[in-house]
Amino acid sequence: MAKEKLRVGLVGYGFMGRTHSNAFRSAGRFFDLDREIELVSVCGRDGDKAQAHADNWGFKRAETDWRRMIRRKDIDLVDIAAPNDMHKDIAIAAAKAGKMVMCEKPLGRTSKESEAMVKAVEAAGVPSMVWYNYRRIPAVTFAKQLIDAGKLGRVYHYRAKFLQDWTIAEDLPQGGAGLWRLDASVAGSGVTGDLLAHCIDTAMWLNGPITSVTALTETFVKERTHSLTGKVQPVTIDDASLFLARFANGSLANFEATRYARGHKAAYTFEINGEHASIAWDLHDLTRLAYFDHRDEGPERGWRSIHVTDGDHPYMGHWWVPGLSIGYEHSFIHQVADFVQGLSSGEAAAPTFADALKTDRVTDAVLKSGKNGRWVESGL
């Protein structure tokens, strides 16, 4: 019997547009999904680039007007991989048109924008999801399983960092393709919304709500030429953001993100210390989970380096043979598979828009504390 179709309309053909397209293309080949995913349309400002994306990834058509795309009857799911300032309008219009919506992180530029997006999908009763992809790297999902199984016991500490070094050059412009992340009017914030949002999403998934924060933020390069205006303009994003936090479960945390850590390209790491055991993960060695359990006995006790590639590890039974590694792009494929399985089971795959709003509440609190130097409650 022919499967029901899930017809996708993608907005955005940049870095994220590519990761999402690859995921939609591959998910049904590795997971037994009861919908057939069809890449119908890719939409973007530049018609030639949209066409090139469509040709490369196998979309049926390319277009330049997202409002028109949303009105079309041959689209079931609108996927947003456009810059952050477009998330809200596209998501709300898509929900109002009765489409399912997936959106790149962060959901909104502020939690106020995200609230409006949550309201729209809830009022329309349409499924939603935000692409916090790192949850679905098998070693990270395995960390969640260990925590939920009680292996760590009570958690005392959570530590996360996301370090990069690509904006150190003072002559790097802000604004425009690729560099909109440096323009606060488009991005909403700097590393807080771009990098810490990932760390916060993972942290709250693994260890529960973050209730209060105190932050230190800095903009190291105060002015940059804007690619779109050609003028030297103030930089208003946070280049670096560090914060201390309290979780509802009583554990303490420190988080750090920066684009000024020379030598680091995408160094996302976290470590959790519990009553019985500790775990640590590093994106640069993404298939491994470090695990120390003090109940291991004998002088050979110590940190284990678990290669999370066996058939009984999360998601791995869908890939090659035990021991063979998968990578970054697979986290997006897993996300699509879980989203579609959630449609079938009726149990929405997380993070939904409502889940991602919680992350935005914490990033708002971090930015507020960075300005006023006080402890700020997240409201969670």
* Positions that interact with ligand SOE (CB under 6 A): 164, 194, 198, 266
Residue 334 dihedral angles phi and psi, to the nearest 5°? -60, -35
Comparison of 194 and 360: residue with beta carbon closer to ligand SOE: 194
Residue 211 C-beta: closest distance to ligand SOE, Å:
25
Farthest-apart Cα atoms in the chain, separation: 67
The C-alpha atoms of residue 14 and residue 171 are separated, in whole angstroms, by: 23
The DSSP 8-state label assigned to residue 137 in this structure reads S
For tokens 């489409």, the residue is 99
Comparison of 135 and 226: residue with beta carbon closer to ligand SOE: 135
**Residues 87, 117 contacting (CB under 8 angstroms):** yes
The residues pairing with 244 across neighbouring beta strands, listed in sequence order, are 214, 254
Residue 133 C-beta: closest distance to ligand SOE, Å:
7
Comparison of 67 and 284: residue with beta carbon closer to ligand SOE: 284
The DSSP 8-state label assigned to residue 259 in this structure reads S
Comparison of 194 and 256: residue with beta carbon closer to ligand SOE: 194
Residue 367 C-beta: closest distance to ligand SOE, Å:
17
Torsion of CA 20, 172, 243, 151, to 10 degrees: 40
The residues pairing with 210 across neighbouring beta strands, listed in sequence order, are 247
**Residues 85, 193 contacting (CB under 8 angstroms):** no
Residue 72 dihedral angles phi and psi, to the nearest 5°? -70, 145
Comparison of 206 and 343: residue with beta carbon closer to ligand SOE: 206
Residue 259 C-beta: closest distance to ligand SOE, Å:
8
Chain residue at closest Cβ approach to ligand SOE: 194
Q: Which two tokens stand for residue 101?
A: 């919506």
Comparison of 256 and 293: residue with beta carbon closer to ligand SOE: 256
Comparison of 63 and 194: residue with beta carbon closer to ligand SOE: 194
Residue 246 C-beta: closest distance to ligand SOE, Å:
25
Comparing C-alpha atoms, which of 148, 262, 132, 145 is closest to residue 196?
Answer: 132
The C-alpha atoms of residue 81 and residue 44 are separated, in whole angstroms, by: 10
Comparison of 166 and 303: residue with beta carbon closer to ligand SOE: 166
Residue 34 C-beta: closest distance to ligand SOE, Å:
30
Residue 78 C-beta: closest distance to ligand SOE, Å:
20
**Residues 324, 311 contacting (CB under 8 angstroms):** no
Residue 21 C-beta: closest distance to ligand SOE, Å:
16
**Helix ranges, the chain (H):** 15-30, 47-57, 66-71, 87-96, 111-124, 138-148, 184-187, 191, 197-207, 328-345, 353-372
